[in-house]
Amino acid sequence: MVHFHREKFVPRGGPDGGDGGKGGDVIFEVKSTLNTLSAFHQKQKFKAEDGMRGGPSQMSGRYGKDLIIYVPPGTMLFDADTGELIGDLTKPGEKLTVLKGGRGGRGNQHFATSRNQVPRTGEKGEPAQEKRIKLELKLIADIGLIGVPNAGKSTLLSALTNAKPKIASYPFTTLEPNLGVANIDDNTTVVLADIPGLIEGAAQGAGLGHDFLRHVQRTRVLVHLLDGLSEDPVADYSQINSELSLFDPNLARKPQLVALNKIDQPEVQERLADIQKTFKELKVELMTISALARTNTRELLVEAYRTLQEAPPPEEIEMPLPLYKPKEDPREFLIKREGANEWRISGVAIERAASMTYWQHDGSVRRFQKIMETLGLDEALRKAGVQEGDTVAIGEFELEWQE
C-alpha cells in the first residue's frame, strides 16, 4: 500500500503503507479414507488463496490460506509437461508442496530514504506460479484379487469384507478397483483390493489392462481366483500369469494363492477331480471355494494372511534423481525484434519486475527504470537499434521507449 500517516499534531507522519500478505501454497495430502481419483474428473483447476492487501499504519496483509488437495494413498504425481515424477505419496498424512505462494508486495514504508522522504512507490505481490500435474493411482493393499472377468472377485471381496462392490452376472461389471478391510481377529486387519478382470493382451493395453495392472504392483500377496464354470480354468490361469509377467517381471515373483471358485455348482463338481489333477501335475496347490455360498472363504483369507506374514516387506519406491540442469541466471534476458517499431524482452528477473510494478505511481515507474539500467537492458536496447517512440513489450505490458 502507498499511504502516508495523517494525525492531528503530527505534521510529518511519514510513509506508513503496509506490506501485502504471502500467497497460499498448493499442497497435496494423503487421506486414508480415499481410494479413487474420480473426484478430479469434475474439478481439474485449483487455486490457493491470494494474500491480502496491506493497510495503513504499517499493517501487513493476512497470508493467503494454503490449498490442500486430498488424494488417496498410492498417488503418484507427474509434471504433465515434462513427464518428470514429482512425488509418490503412500502414507496417510504425508504431504507434498508442489507450488509455493508468492511473497507479498512491499508498501511505501520500505522506500523512504533521507533524500526521498515522501516515496510514492509501492510494489505488487510476486506473480503466481502455475503447474500442470498428472495424477496416477496405484492402490496400496496387502492382498490383491486377480483373475479373468466374471471369476467372482467382487463377490469374494463382499464375502470377506464390508465392501459393497457392484456385482452382476456379466463380464466387466467392475470398472475400477475396489478396496475392503477384512478382520483376521479382534486386533488384526488386512486390506484387500478387487482388481477388475484382466483379458488376453492386457499387458499391451488391451481393454483397460494398463489401468488395472499397475494396481497389482503395490500388493504383496495375490489371490488368483479361477472361474469354475470356465471351459478351461488351466488356460485362464496361464493367461493371467503371462500378462502379469509381460507387464512387470516382478509380478511373477509375488506370492500367489490359487483358488477355484463356484464349487457349489453341479457342473463344477462333475469336473472338480479332473481340474485338481491337472493343477497337481503343474505342482500348483489349488484351494476350492464358493464366494457366493461362502464355502472355505474364511480358510482362504487365513491362508492368504499367513502367506502375507512370510512375504518380503514392501519395496520402497526410490524417487529418481533429478536431471542435472545448469543453473539459469535470472538476470539474463533476450531482446527480439517483432516488427519495424516493436520489440519484445523476455527474462525471469525483468518480467517479474514488470509484473510487480504499479505503473500508475511515478515512483514505481522510476524504480523499474533503475532495474532496467542495473540489468543493462537500456544499453542493450540502444545497441539493438531501438528508436524514440518504439513499443517495447515485457510480459503482458507494452511500454513506449523514450530517451
The predicted-structure confidence for 52-89, as pLDDT tens digits, reads as follows 998 888 888 899 999 999 988 888 898 888 888 888 88
Q: What are phi and psi of 179, to 5 degrees?
A: -110, 150
Return the CATH number at 175.
Answer: 3.40.50.300
Task: Look at residue 67 in the predicted model and tell me its pLDDT.
Answer: 94
Which residue, among 355, 396, 394, 366, has the nearest Cα to 126 in the 3D structure?
355
The domain total for the chain is 3
Residues 252, 234: one domain? yes
Task: Look at residue 210 in the predicted model and tell me its pLDDT.
Answer: 42
Residue 343 in grid coordinates: 520489440
Is 44 among the domain residues? yes
Residue 194 in grid coordinates: 478387487
Residue 344 to residue 334: CA distance in whole angstroms:
8
Query: With 60 as the cut, is the pLDDT of residue 203 above it?
Result: no
Residues 129, 1: one domain? yes
Query: With 70 as the cut, is the pLDDT of residue 312 above it?
Result: yes
**Minimum mean pLDDT among 27-36, 184-193, 316-325, 351-360: which range?**
316-325
Cβ contact 279:238 at 8 Å:
no
Q: How many CB atoms lie within 10 A of CB 322?
A: 8
Return the CATH number at 113.
Answer: 2.70.210.12
Question: How many residues are given for the chain?
Answer: 403
Residues 131, 44: one domain? yes
Helix, strand, coil % (nearest 5) of the chain? 25, 25, 50
Mean of per-residue pLDDT scores for the chain: 82
Task: Look at residue 205 in the predicted model and tell me its pLDDT.
Answer: 44
Domain with 339, as residue range(s), is: 334-400
Residue 389: which region, alpha, beta or left (left: phi > 0; alpha: psi -120 to 50)? left
Residue 304 to residue 352: CA distance in whole angstroms:
58
Q: What are phi and psi of 116, to 5 degrees?
A: -130, 85
Domain boundary among 106, 122, 137: 137
Is 320 among the domain residues? no
Is 55 among the domain residues? yes
Q: What are phi and psi of 335, to 5 degrees?
A: -105, 125
Cβ contact 363:121 at 8 Å:
yes
The b/e string for 359-391 (b: 16+ C-beta within 10 A; e otherwise) is eebebbeebbeebbeebebeeebeeeebeeebe
